[in-house]
Amino acid sequence: MKKQIAVILGVLLAVMTVFPGVRSLAAEAEPTSPGPSENTTAARIVDKEQEKAQTESELQNAEQSKQNLEQAKIQLEGYLGELNAKLQEISGNIGQLEQQISGKLQEIDTIKADLDKAKTEEKEQYEDMKKRIQYMYEKGSLGMYSMLLSGQSLSEVISRSEYIAKISKYDRDMLQKYQDTKNRIQENEDALVKQQKELSGMEGQLKAQEAELEKTVAATGENIKKHEAEIAAAELQIQNYEQQIAKQEAELSDLQAIQEAEAIASSSSEVAEAAAKAQEIASGLKDKMSQLGIQVPETVVPTYGEAYAATATDLVLMATIIYVEAGIEPFEGKCAVGACVMNRVRSPEFPNSILGVIYQPGQFTPVTTGRFALALAQGVPDECYRAAQMALDGYNNIGDYLYFRTPNGRVSGLQIGGHIFHDGHVF
């Protein structure tokens, strides 16, 4: 019974729009095969496969570009670390040189004070010596001789002579000593000034290196930021390519399903005959089923929960949409799709019937591509009917969610099997 209903629904609801060749197939004595054309499903499959291959190639290039950018960023970060270490080292060296220069300046100040003191002592000694020499010359030679000969004995004369010689020698020695001290201090001052200039020159060179390094560090930091922005752009491009490939795979799958449906439509005399009968009878679905001898119950008896007053047609439609959307999902995933359909039926945002919800334009891709019609014509597994019955009986395992899709990282919600059930918000 379910298969008969499915065949009739498939013929009445979708065959004439999905399989445009069926009408001519029923009218002509012998079916004809379409010739090669750019509009054939096979040609569209080839085009879509080429398009997908091109996108995959672009995805691979984008991933390689991202990998290269990440490697370059790692190298730049290492280089920046080396630059910062070198900058820190130079800064430390500049600090040490500044301390050394400060020390040299203090030493120069100290030695200048010593030099001033030595110059003063030299001058004082020189003045003292001049006074003594002046005294001796003012007394004259006779006075000197008189002083020497006024001694009471030869030994006293000799002592006085030696005293005079010692005084002269002392004056000469002290003058020479002060001069040597002054010269030595001057030499030390000159050496310190030279060292201070050398240290200042080294400080200037290090500060120039520091300034150049700071420029390089800033440029490297900007380069790293540029690479980070390029990596983010590459990641977004990769995500777009992945989404594009997923879409192309779905479109390929739909085209292949259409191709299978076209093959069935062109080779199955049963489908052609059913299409011809459906075309002849344009009245309601119940009348068509009645003429074919199919008894359609008005409602499906609920088993539990808040049930929906469903007809056998609703059950077939629900089982089929569950199959094309969640055929490979676990049983809970099939029930979740059914619950989502029922949530829409009960929502004021959507049509208030199962038929209206399923055939609402732009909502279910398999309906648009023809996979739904093909499944109606071929029938679906009993497990899908069990899930459909549970949904009609009020079983709900997803709450109030009205939408579902495969995970893509841009929606959040409840994941059951390979689907995310969500409220339609995309972030």
Contacts of residue 260, Cβ cutoff 8 Å, sequence gap at least 6: 374
Q: Is residue 212 part of a domain?
A: yes
Beta bridge partners of 404: 421
Q: How far apart are CA 345 and CA 139, in angstroms?
A: 143
Q: Is residue 59 part of a domain?
A: no
Q: Given strand 403-405, what is the order of strands in its sheet?
A: 403-405, 419-422, 414-416
Last residue of a domain, one of 198, 221, 241: 241
Q: How far apart are CA 63 and CA 234, in angstroms?
A: 7
Mode of pairing for the β-strands spanning 419-422 and 414-416: antiparallel
Q: Is residue 61 part of a domain?
A: no
Flag whether pLDDT at 32 surpasses 90.
no
pLDDT tens, position by position, 107-126: 888 887 887 887 787 777 77
Q: Which helix (H) or strand (E) holds 405?
A: strand 403-405
Q: How far is CA 358 from the centre of its chain?
A: 40
Give yes or no: residues 115 and 48 share one domain. Answer: no
Question: Domain limits at 341?
Answer: 2-29+42-53+252-422
pLDDT, residue 341, reads: 96
Q: Is residue 386 part of a domain?
A: yes
pLDDT tens, position by position, 269-326: 444 454 444 344 333 444 544 554 434 334 333 334 467 888 888 999 999 999 999 9
Max mean pLDDT range (43-47, 135-139, 218-222, 281-285): 218-222
Where does the pLDDT of residue 38 fall: very low under 50, low under 70, confident under 90, or very high at 90 and above? Answer: low
Flag whether pLDDT at 52 surpasses 60.
yes
Where does the pLDDT of residue 137 fall: very low under 50, low under 70, confident under 90, or very high at 90 and above? Answer: low
Where does the pLDDT of residue 260 fall: very low under 50, low under 70, confident under 90, or very high at 90 and above? Answer: low
Q: How far apart are CA 312 and CA 316, in angstroms?
A: 6
Give yes or no: residues 285 and 147 share one domain. Answer: no
Give yes or no: residues 229 and 313 share one domain. Answer: no
In order, the DSSP letters of 4-51 are: HHHHHHHIIIIIHHH-THHHHHHHSSS--PPPP-TTSHHHHHHHHHHH
pLDDT, residue 311, reads: 87
Tokens of residue 287, six digits = 């009348």
CATH number for the domain harbouring residue 96: 1.10.287
Identify which has the larger pLDDT, 130 or 316.
316
Q: How far apart are CA 135 and CA 40, in angstroms?
A: 138
pLDDT, residue 108, reads: 83
Give yes or no: residues 235 and 292 share one domain. Answer: no
pLDDT, residue 147, reads: 57
How deeply is 62 buried, as exposed, middle or buried, from its count of CB atoms within 10 A (0-12, 13-18, 19+)? buried
Give yes or no: residues 143 and 268 share one domain. Answer: no
pLDDT, residue 140, reads: 47
Q: Is residue 60 part of a domain?
A: no
Last residue of a domain, one of 221, 241, 261: 241
Q: How far is CA 288 from the centre of its chain?
A: 60
Q: How far is CA 28 from the centre of its chain?
A: 62
Give yes or no: residues 350 and 257 share one domain. Answer: yes
Where does the pLDDT of residue 94 fall: very low under 50, low under 70, confident under 90, or very high at 90 and above? Answer: confident
Cβ–Cβ < 8 Å for 321, 378: no
Give yes or no: residues 113 and 85 share one domain. Answer: yes
Tokens of residue 387, six digits = 């899930």
Flag whether pLDDT at 404 surpasses 90.
yes
Give yes or no: residues 81 and 225 share one domain. Answer: yes
pLDDT tens, position by position, 197-246: 888 888 888 889 889 888 898 999 999 999 889 999 988 999 888 998 98
Last residue of a domain, one of 176, 207, 241: 241
| SS3 category, 350 | coil
Give yes or no: residues 174 and 312 share one domain. Answer: no
What's the DSSP call for residue 302? Answer: P
Could you give the percent of the chain with pLDDT greater than 70?
70
Contacts of residue 344, Cβ cutoff 8 Å, sequence gap at least 6: 350, 351, 357, 402
Q: Is residue 415 part of a domain?
A: yes
Q: Is residue 48 part of a domain?
A: yes
Give yes or no: residues 213 and 189 share one domain. Answer: yes
Give yes or no: residues 226 and 259 share one domain. Answer: no
CATH number for the domain harbouring residue 306: 1.10.10.2520
Max mean pLDDT range (128-137, 167-176, 406-415): 406-415
Q: Is residue 36 part of a domain?
A: no
Where does the pLDDT of residue 331 fall: very low under 50, low under 70, confident under 90, or very high at 90 and above? Answer: very high
Q: Which long-range contacts (CB under 8 A, 24 or more apart) does 91-95 make?
A: 91/210, 93/206, 94/203, 94/206, 94/207, 94/210
Give yes or no: residues 24 and 92 share one domain. Answer: no
**Number of domains composing the chain:** 2
Where does the pLDDT of residue 86 fall: very low under 50, low under 70, confident under 90, or very high at 90 and above? Answer: confident
Q: How far apart are CA 129 and CA 38, in angstroms?
A: 126
Mean pLDDT value of segment 43-51:
86
pLDDT tens, position by position, 357-386: 999 998 999 999 999 999 998 889 999 999
pLDDT, residue 165, reads: 73
pLDDT, residue 139, reads: 53
